[in-house]
Structure 1
């Protein structure tokens, strides 16, 4: 007998979804095709849901479960994120309410000021839930960036050498960290033509707030004047500190360029290389101030 998921999930994952909904029907496979993550639009009678699942070695689903279990509730209450209906961490499986809308990326809304203003407001809601001072974040983030460089990649050898030099010279300090999305950009925004909504919290974690600005800063904000200002107006302030913004951007760039190469996403890899180029345009400013000035 043919399975409802057409073999996209593991047997155990598919059976669990069947036990939840009785007669699930696969409407569409919305997966990116990256890694082994599956995103399925499923219907059971008049109920539409999103089933998201991955294999046992995938760490992104666990991060997303953490985000939706504890940190997305204000967004859900505002209609800005999907309600988590069910999750099984040991099976790397989540079930969400289905959200109407289409991805903002590659549509006219990608460079729309109101879209960016809404995105800024949504992000501020997420960030504002908690603030901590982390004495170890910077050292760990730099070590992780260096570990990415130790893997196979297509970063120019001279560029790699300069990145390693700057990472080695940078002196870590305590940083204020907040709950972050980790991949805040139009590929993770939905819009129904009016309201913007957030999806894919697979890179959720506590980081400096400014790290959620990195991808926008080297993409959309450079394509159209006014988008950055609109976003910041929605967000309410600018959390970037020029003393550390370049190093934040540099570490994000390394991870993006190497990870995207390893999974074969050439478009995202190109984004990582653009981030590297921008981060290397000028030296980070001398370190000064304490934790409160470093967000």
Structure 2
């Protein structure tokens, strides 16, 4: 692939060619849902992942913050790759490339050993700090209510019930830690039976249980052995029953609305399933 076909603008290409002279695009690994371009790039310095996006992309600053302030512990243990170059104005990140294959769509996706490794790595990430946040739940509940005002395909009766529940929520202080925000096999790379993690575009300080929501819905309900393996790796279960059901409700709303906005019908259907499951807990 030539740079002219990469989806990067002139300033982004110029930056990459400056920090990686003679680089060529090997593959385009973009998901295609947002304006983020994810490219496998090769130069005399080796293989890299180049991530570039437009000015309104909210994932860019979160991933930049994660790499600059929070991924160092994972890099030291070989759990993720380091950020090597960044251009904030052009909105480009250059990250060392992790060899291997994506776990999604392979046998690794449902491997107990991989889920156990995922628990160990996530605990390492979470354990870097813990802060009491008195406002987190109120902010997240307000965000979920605002999302219900956006275009979506959640049926009106469900919307009414969700609004009523969210308005009845009583926030309290919670402990927040560094979270990945999208922790599941779509962001796991496997190389020689070792798990590595990628994509910190949804990084934020949140309750630790937040990083379990997608695994719980996508895998653990059908394969409890994976949940057991993950908890063994993590060391304990960070979920508290009442907070967990509210977290699942907010996450379901966010998934259904966001997936509709970006035109991902499969993910939207998942969000609708998550919403039905979350409501059953009430």
Partner of 1:136: 135
Is 1:175 aligned to residue 179 of structure 2? Answer: no
Partner of 1:201: 200
Q: How many equivalent pairs are there?
A: 282
Q: How far is 1:45 from its partner?
A: 2.8
Q: How far is 1:193 from its partner?
A: 4.3
Q: How far is 1:249 from its partner?
A: 0.6
Partner of 1:290: none
Partner of 1:120: 119
Is 1:265 aligned to residue 264 of structure 2? Answer: yes
Partner of 1:94: 93
Report SS of the residue matched to 1:218. Answer: helix
Partner of 2:56: 57
Report SS of the residue matched to 1:250. Answer: helix
Q: How far is 1:5 from its partner?
A: 4.8
Unaligned runs of 5+ in 2: none
Contact 2:25 2:42 in 1 (8 A): yes
Contact 2:130 2:176 in 1 (8 A): yes
Distance in 1 separating the partners of 2:273 and 2:251: 11
> What do the CA deviations read for 1:24-61 (whole angstroms, capped 9, x no partner)?
10100000001100000001136111100100110101
Partner of 2:30: 31
TM-score normalised by L of structure 2:
0.97
Moved over 3 A (4+): none
Partner of 2:211: 212
User: Which aligned pairs between 1:136-155 and structure 2 lie closer than 5 A?
Assistant: 136-155=135-154
Q: How far is 1:282 from its partner?
A: 2.2
Q: How far is 1:3 from its partner?
A: 5.6
Q: How far is 1:91 from its partner?
A: 2.0
Q: How far is 1:134 from its partner?
A: 0.4
Report SS of the residue matched to 2:5. Answer: coil
Q: How far is 1:272 from its partner?
A: 1.3
Distance in 2 separating the partners of 1:103 and 1:155: 32
Q: How far is 1:159 from its partner?
A: 1.2
Distance in 2 separating the partners of 1:110 and 1:209: 22
Counterparts in 2 of 1:64 and 1:216: CA distance versus 1, 3 Å: same
Unaligned runs of 5+ in 1: 284-295
Q: How far is 1:22 from its partner?
A: 1.5
TM-score normalised by L of structure 1:
0.93
Query: How large is the Cα RMSD of the aligned pairs?
Result: 1.3
Q: How far is 1:204 from its partner?
A: 0.2
Contact 1:4 1:24 in 2 (8 A): no
Contact 1:80 1:122 in 2 (8 A): yes
Q: How far is 1:7 from its partner?
A: 4.5
Contact 1:5 1:26 in 2 (8 A): no
Distance in 2 separating the partners of 1:146 and 1:262: 16
Counterparts in 2 of 1:277 and 1:21: CA distance versus 1, 3 Å: same
Distance in 1 separating the partners of 2:205 and 2:245: 19
